[in-house]
Amino acid sequence: MSEGEISSKKNIISVVIVNYNGRTYLEACLDSVLKTQYDNFEIIVIDNGSSDSSQDYLRKISIEKPIIKCIFNQENFGPSKARNQGAAKAQGEFIAFIDNDTLVDPEWLKEAIKVFIAEPKIGACQCKLIIEGTDNLIDSIGEYLGQNGFLVQAVLPAEEKDLGQHNTINDIFAAKSAGMLVRKDLFIKIGGFDEDYFIYLEESDLCWRVWLAGYRVVLACNSIVYHKFGTSSVVLPDKINYLTKFHGTKNYITTLFKNPGLKNLLQMLPVHICIWIAVSLIFFFKGQFKSTEWIFQGIFWNIKNFKKIIAKRASIQSQRVCSDKEIFLKIMKKKNLRYFMAKIQRNKKIGNASGWDKGKI
């Protein structure tokens, strides 16, 4: 099939959902997806070794609804590996990744596929994420890349209501896997999600490689997915601080090691690491010694695994189609340090609000 040609199978879509101890949310999510107004899709659920009643429910529902296919892991491999497992099983020409704490608009796949059909060089898209249980507050409409390698959100969570002000198909740097679609052939070509990213930044890394391959990432503004806020802290209450500090630091640095050209690598990465060290010292002087330790563990993971990361970088750069200059003109938003400090404080404030963990405000 030539590039951009519409398949005779009417653009089969595989909806991939990763679950870990998410029985509380899973049934509503699947009920929502089953009501999707699209003729040709399948649902693949990967359970990452849940210890709640998720697996019993999934075995039952997959018998009742053959459209649902399940993969059962014996342990929690993290979202990246699980999504790759789902993609390997997928029959679709497009893969839709959503989280288990989402509800989808019935037209979400129809609206997303329109974007791909209209422009063959769109490789991935972000669904418009609305915070479930609120009066149309925006969760995410995509992210941009800051000059020092940190993500710049197009709209901060809960900062704006969706009143149609973002109803344009804009280029973005990266999508969030709570609601995103990607061409399967491109996903395979660029290597899927990096399985060394247990959690966090795996979508940003993937989308950077989409751009490097000569494709675009855009906001599919009419494809709506409703996302609960703060469920990670509910499912993993004892680990969330470690996960954000260690994996956040580790994966940000790895992403910057692998993807930019050499000139931008040398300009961005040293500053980026210095910022992480400064953040760790802030935690240290506040007496939050574990947070300091986890950030340094994230930094040193990259030193320990330097050879592996360099090999990945060589592979990515050998397949590069677009220059940094071409890409950065479209996806970089320069922000000062004040923006990032305000972003951290805002996200912390929202995360601490008890109503958000219940998807309400």
Read off the pTM: 0.92
Cβ–Cβ < 8 Å for 243, 195: no
DSSP secondary-structure letter at 243?
I
137: pLDDT strictly greater than 90: yes
How do 179-183 and 216-227 pair as beta strands? unpaired
- 3-state SS assignment for residue 75: coil
218: pLDDT strictly greater than 80: yes
Cβ–Cβ < 8 Å for 93, 54: no
The pLDDT value given to residue 357: 34
147: pLDDT strictly greater than 80: yes
Q: What token pair was written down for 48?
A: 């990452």
DSSP secondary-structure letter at 18?
E
Q: How do residues 186-215 score in pLDDT, each as one tens digit?
A: 999 999 999 999 999 999 999 999 999 999
Average pLDDT, the chain: 91
* pLDDT-derived band at 352, boundaries 50, 70, 90: very low
DSSP secondary-structure letter at 15?
E
Burial status of residue 294 (CB atoms within 10 A of its CB: 0-12, 13-18, 19 or more): buried
Residue in 25, 38, 159, 150 with CA at minimum distance from that of residue 96: 38
* Percent of the chain residues topping a pLDDT of 70: 90
Q: How do residues 25-42 score in pLDDT, each as one tens digit?
A: 999 999 999 999 999 999
Q: What is the mean pLDDT of residues 56-76?
A: 97
The pLDDT value given to residue 347: 60
* pLDDT-derived band at 9, boundaries 50, 70, 90: low
The pLDDT value given to residue 192: 98
Q: How do residues 100-135 score in pLDDT, each as one tens digit?
A: 999 999 999 999 999 999 999 999 999 999 999 999
Cα(254)–Cα(118) distance, rounded to whole angstroms?
34
Contacts of 229 (CB under 8 A, 6+ apart): 131, 132, 139, 157, 158, 350, 356, 357, 359
* pLDDT-derived band at 232, boundaries 50, 70, 90: low
Q: Where are the beta strands (DSSP E) in 83-174?
A: 94-99, 102-104, 122-131, 138-140, 143-145, 151-153
78: pLDDT strictly greater than 80: yes
17: pLDDT strictly greater than 80: yes
The pLDDT value given to residue 106: 98
21: pLDDT strictly greater than 90: yes
Instruction: Give the residue with greater pLDDT, 7 vs 218.
Output: 218
361: pLDDT strictly greater than 80: no
* pLDDT-derived band at 348, boundaries 50, 70, 90: low
